[in-house]
Amino acid sequence: MSAHFPNPKTVKGQVLARLLQGRELTHKDVWLECFSSRLSHHVYALKADGWIINTIMRPVRTGDGRKEEIGYYAIPHDVIEQAGERGRRFIEDATLVAKQRGQIDPILAAHIALLATGVLILLNGWLT
């Protein structure tokens, strides 16, 4: 594999570790888990480092009911396989860094996001 592995202590490294786990990431995921609003920048930088990252556009509903498309970023499974043992070690290193920093576990972040969405929906119903 000729792609460059960044420092796992950086946001770029944290994003790569999550992508190497086979996840599809959105800006919201990185905002909640890595405290960064610049996912597209990190994807751009990782592509420049030699990583193949796909953008999948999917429709979503906004808070006011409109339909919009957002980008989901993912590394193809064959690229993940090519990263092999080095990729697995990188994920372990990045996971340790995230735990030391107190970053939010992805499953916990998803639960918090769902709870917050439910509260906002309830408040919206009461305020209108």
pLDDT of 12:
97
Question: Does 110 fall in a domain?
Answer: no
pLDDT of 106:
62
Enclosing H/E stretch for 107: helix 106-127
Question: Does 123 fall in a domain?
Answer: no
Measured in whole angstroms, the distance separating CA 38 from the mean position of its chain's CA atoms is: 11
Sign (positive or negative) of CA dihedral 45, 31, 84, 5:
positive
User: Per-residue confidence of the chain (128 residues) as pLDDT tens digits?
Assistant: 689 999 999 999 999 999 999 999 999 999 988 889 999 999 999 999 999 999 999 999 988 999 999 999 999 999 999 999 999 999 999 999 888 877 666 666 666 777 777 777 777 776 65
Contact status, residue 12 vs residue 58, Cβ threshold 8 Å: no
- Structural domain of 32: 11-103
Contact status, residue 73 vs residue 25, Cβ threshold 8 Å: yes
pLDDT of 109:
66
Q: Model pTM greater than 0.75?
A: yes
- Total of domains in the chain: 1
Q: What is the CATH number of the domain that holds 26?
A: 1.10.10
pLDDT of 108:
67
CA distances from 8 to 3, 39, 108 (A): 15, 15, 21
User: Which three-class secondary structure state does DSSP give residue 49?
Assistant: coil
pLDDT of 117:
78
Contact status, residue 101 vs residue 10, Cβ threshold 8 Å: no
